[in-house]
Structure 1
Amino acid sequence: MRACIGIRQSLQQEIGAYHGLVCLGTMTMHHLSGRWSGFQPPEFLHFVVQWKIHQILGKNGAAFRGTRRVELMKNEMEHNVLSYSKNGPRDLWPSVSNYILQVSSSGDPKSPVAFLYFLDSGGGTYPQIISSAQAKWFQQKSQEVNPDSRVPEIIFWHIPSKSYGKVAPKYGIQKPCVGSINMESVATQEAEMGIMELLVKRPSVKAIFVGHNHGLDWCCPYKKLWLCFARHTGYGGYGDWPRGARIIEITEQPFSLKSWIRMEDGLVHSEVVLSS
């Protein structure tokens, strides 16, 4: 299992987002659930079994024992009754999981508080990019659902864009960046094909969240938005850094977007306000 993000609007409205590989061949879900029995802070109560889980396919998430990513998505949507995962437009293939989730007001389900955009950044046997076709799709869909950029927008994909390499702390983590581990170089996408230019120009975009690098958990400002890593959460993949998860908190009135890291032992650190 790779990095995990928990998004909460209130104690009653919560969602989990997996960034990348969820289960390795050497780690069954039963085994993982046992490992996670002690990882149950208030934000992640009964996380593995009961939560609404979103699957973002990324590096090595393209296949599991030879299973194609399309089949993985099909299985996720058919058998995980709490999942919000969706297949994106077929004309974006081999990119699969491109879609939008609306976070609604607690007082009015039709009134959006934020839009969450999920983009497939490739990996495995597929190019590690957000393609120009995906960038065009984002531009069209964002204009459709949020034409005046009035509603805040939050972006998720797995493999960091090249912009992450530009803002990465060189030694330790110094302000204005916030985080606790900076133990490897950023492994970025293969090319930049337009998505970052669109996001930077769009005033409603507040932050981008990625996984991929297990030895990084920082957030750094980039122009007018924030670039954040999640935190290596599970017991698969490389590295033996202490496990944790990135929490995102959305407050409706007045709007605010905060984030922090919650460790497996309950320690909370690296809080940052992303909406200022």
Structure 2
Amino acid sequence: MSRSLLYLALLGSLVECLSLAKRYTNSSTPGAPLRFNVNGTFQISIMEDLHFGENAWDTWGPQQDINSVEVIKKVLDKESPSLVVLNGDLITGDNGFLENSTIYLEQIVAPLVQRNLPWASAYGNHDHQYNLSTDALLEHEQRWPNAMTKNMVESEDAGTSNYYLPIYPNNCTTTSAAAEKCIPELILWFFDSRGGFQYQKKDASGNRLGLPNWVDISVVRWFQQTHAVLTAKYQKTIPSLAFVHIPTYASVAFQTAGVSPHYQPGINDDVPVSPQAQGWCANGTNDRNCDYGGQDVPFMQALTTLPGIIAVFSGHDHGDTWCAKWNTRLPGMTVAGNGINLCFGQHTGYGGYGNWERGSRQIKVSMEQLRDFEVESWIRLESGHVVGSVGLNATYGRDWYPATNNTKTNCPTCNYTIVTPGPGS
């Protein structure tokens, strides 16, 4: 495809997305609670590391985005989620410009809007960039009532996508007054692990200012306080799932101890894992003299001491797709696990590094299994195949599973031999 034809195709796609935004403005009820299905289940599809907007000035950049949209469509044609989670790095903001950096969101959500699916985001390090504001990204998302993404922590250092979503039983009505009488069966927690760069800020030498790459202590305190309030309000421990783009150091420690292809099925190609607080020193400096500063310890302590949290789902490391049960004090750790499951998703987008087959991690929650704080999970690949199907239950880590085939996919229409410096570079 020629450059001009590709740009015309991309323009057509963007026009279609903008049209959808207008056409489906009232496609869901604003403020309506998320509910379990009539059969007592709730399914989540995680789309992560989409990396839209790479090298828009070369033909392969827009072609990657077109292919990524197709991945989303193929997954949703096979699965029936109640919610889609966009778990970080929606956009490669490094390549974005102030004037158009959020427009790629139109392409990402078009398949969701077409299917009238709600979605919720946890922003990643590539969403925090000099020309891409996560506050602007949130504002852009909230043009649609389908968008459940929120900002519940008003702190300068908190990041943006820190919030929770309650999931109610099916008989909970859509009116806010009636919803107040309902007790959630599940809580979904979303955290902004930040990273990348501060929006439109430079130091005295003209260098872009980096952004810490861990869940801030202000968010940890909000998490602890809000969890306590919800527990007191409903007089019960509500089962929970957590979503954060950059994994904690516990994933590094578990990987170092050993990931088994049969007991923690999945790809394990990114070694070592790139955790929160990577590249920072314990004293808070970021001068590239330290490997890891430990600033994610308060977040890990909250995850392992607050009751009811079944699993935390991360992305960031495109070549890791396994889940591990953290139920011991791992080597090199000061925080002991309590049985929480640490899971990676599947690289969904054609942008970003790596050619592992694109796909989406699925989570199926049933009200029956929640009584035992258990969920099911699997990965749906672009090819339609299912891999890594596991039960995140009391015996996970001791149960034997088939190993995951490490399949690869490429972009046949992307000419990566042409890499043009971006405008202004």
Does TM, normalized by the shorter one, top 0.5? yes
Aligned position for 1:250? 365
Aligned position for 1:93? 157
Aligned position for 2:167? 103
Alpha-carbon separation, structure 1, partners of 2:248 and 2:218: 16
CA contact (8 A) 1:20 1:56 kept: no
From 240, 244, 257, the counterpart of 2:355: 240
CA contact (8 A) 2:151 2:161 kept: yes
Alpha-carbon separation, structure 2, partners of 1:8 and 1:172: 35
Label 1:217 to 1:34 Cα distance change in 2 as closer, same or farther (>3 A). Answer: closer
From 256, 269, 274, the counterpart of 2:387: 269
From 197, 204, 218, the counterpart of 1:133: 218
1:245-272 residue CA offsets vs partner (Å, 9 max, x unmatched):
1000010124241111111111112122
User: TM-score, with normalisation over the residues of structure 2?
Assistant: 0.57
Alpha-carbon separation, structure 1, partners of 2:357 and 2:183: 39
CA contact (8 A) 1:92 1:133 kept: no
CA contact (8 A) 2:44 2:81 kept: no
The alignment's C-alpha RMSD in Å is 2.7
Answer with 187-196 or 14-23: which moved more. Answer: 14-23
* Larger strand fraction of residues: 1
Alpha-carbon separation, structure 2, partners of 1:237 and 1:61: 13
2:141 counterpart of 1:84: no
Q: Percent identity?
A: 26
Label 1:17 to 1:88 Cα distance change in 2 as closer, same or farther (>3 A). Answer: farther
Answer with 241-250 or 251-260: which moved more. Answer: 251-260
Label 1:37 to 1:116 Cα distance change in 2 as closer, same or farther (>3 A). Answer: closer
Aligned position for 2:53? 24
Label 1:31 to 1:19 Cα distance change in 2 as closer, same or farther (>3 A). Answer: closer
CA contact (8 A) 2:71 2:359 kept: no
Tell me the CA shift for residue 43 of structure 1: 2.9
CA contact (8 A) 1:8 1:249 kept: no
CA contact (8 A) 1:8 1:15 kept: no
Answer with 49-58 or 182-191: which moved more. Answer: 49-58
Greater radius of gyration (CA):
2
1:198-223 residue CA offsets vs partner (Å, 9 max, x unmatched):
22122311111000000000000102
Label 1:9 to 1:243 Cα distance change in 2 as closer, same or farther (>3 A). Answer: farther
User: TM-score, with normalisation over the residues of structure 1?
Assistant: 0.86
Q: How many pairs does the alignment contain?
A: 267
Label 1:49 to 1:235 Cα distance change in 2 as closer, same or farther (>3 A). Answer: farther
Structure 2 stretches of 5 or more lacking a match?
A: 1-33, 83-110, 174-181, 198-210, 278-294, 328-338, 395-425
**What amino acid is the match of 1:82?**
N
Answer with 104-113 or 158-167: which moved more. Answer: 104-113
Structure 1 stretches of 5 or more lacking a match?
A: 1-6
